[in-house]
Amino acid sequence: MAEVMPLECEDPGAGARLDAAARGLLAKQVRGWRRAAPGAVLITVRGDAWDHAPELRRPESDPSDLTRERVVLGYQSLAADVFGLDCPVVVALDGRVSGFGLALALAADVRLATARTTLAVGANDPVAALLGGVGWLVSRIAGAGTFAQLAWNGVLLTAGEAAGRGLLNEVDDRPGRAADVAARLAAEPAGSSALKRALTSRARREFGSVLDYESWLVEVAAGVSSDGAAAQAG
């Protein structure tokens, strides 16, 4: 049986959820997982740690936050790396998940949640809908209509509703359930890795193309010019 590598994402509170420091720590962990080649990865998300969209910094306060380069390096590369891990990735959710947090959750292979979990893009914000390829990820699993509801109508899905659309694999409040799932997947590492590659090999290339295009669309949606300054309204 191969090792399960765990990571706990604690909730730092409003204003710091999935900020640059949190994303950097997660990116470092992903790089380590790629080198170690574990049997499975288990990410436990505490509370609202992945409720990201409401705290997105708006371009009028710091336009350079949403330039194409920063979006690629700060968001999209992380989502792509989680999606591209060769081993199964299990994520356990227990709170509000939105924006880039939703992209990270959907980049995992198995998503478990408690009854308290909700999924949303967040606040009818076009930038939140473009960070991390969340539109492609939602549409891949649940269809473009579900993404339209989340992004254009600001719909918030309960855990039961999200499970009904395939966005969550299980809704289970039992402690240790996610660890049991990860251990089962790690018990047959060669088979789990082979199945993961079969399921995602073509999708990885498509996801990369989507992220490249969306990195430009973020600047368009945010009104940020290519040199990082706010575009003039006119």
Q: Would you state the pLDDT for residue 64?
A: 59
What's the pLDDT score for residue 72? Answer: 93
Give me the residue spans of the domains in the chain.
4-189
In this structure, are strands 4-9 and 89-93 parallel, antiparallel, or unpaired? unpaired
Burial class (CB in 10 A: 0-12, 13-18, 19+), 187: middle
Look at residue 67 in the predicted model and tell me its pLDDT: 85
- Residue 3 Rama label (left phi>0; alpha psi -120 to 50; beta): beta
CATH architecture of 4-189: Alpha-Beta Complex (3.90)
14 CB-near residues (< 8 Å, 6+ apart): 54, 55
What is the rounded distance in angstroms from the CA atom of residue 85 to the CA atom of residue 225?
A: 33
Provide the Cα torsion 9, 13, 15, 17; round to 10°: 10
Whole-number pLDDT of residue 61: 47
Q: In terms of Cα–Cα distance, which of 107, 109, 105, 111 is closest to 89?
A: 109
3-state helix, strand, coil in the chain (%, to 5): 50, 15, 35
Please give the pLDDT value at position 224: 64
Decide: helix, strand or coil at residue 78: helix
Question: What is the DSSP code string of 199-224?
Answer: HHHHHHHHHHHHHHHHHHHHHHHHTB
Q: 227: how many CB neighbours lie within 10 A of its CB? A: 8
- Predicted local confidence at residue 49, as pLDDT: 97
Taking 70 as the pLDDT cut, the residues of the chain under it are: 1, 54-65, 123-124, 224-234
Of 120, 114, 122, 108, which Cα lies nearest the Cα of 95?
114
pLDDT at residue 56, as a whole number:
53
pTM, 2 dp: 0.90
* pLDDT on residue 234: 30
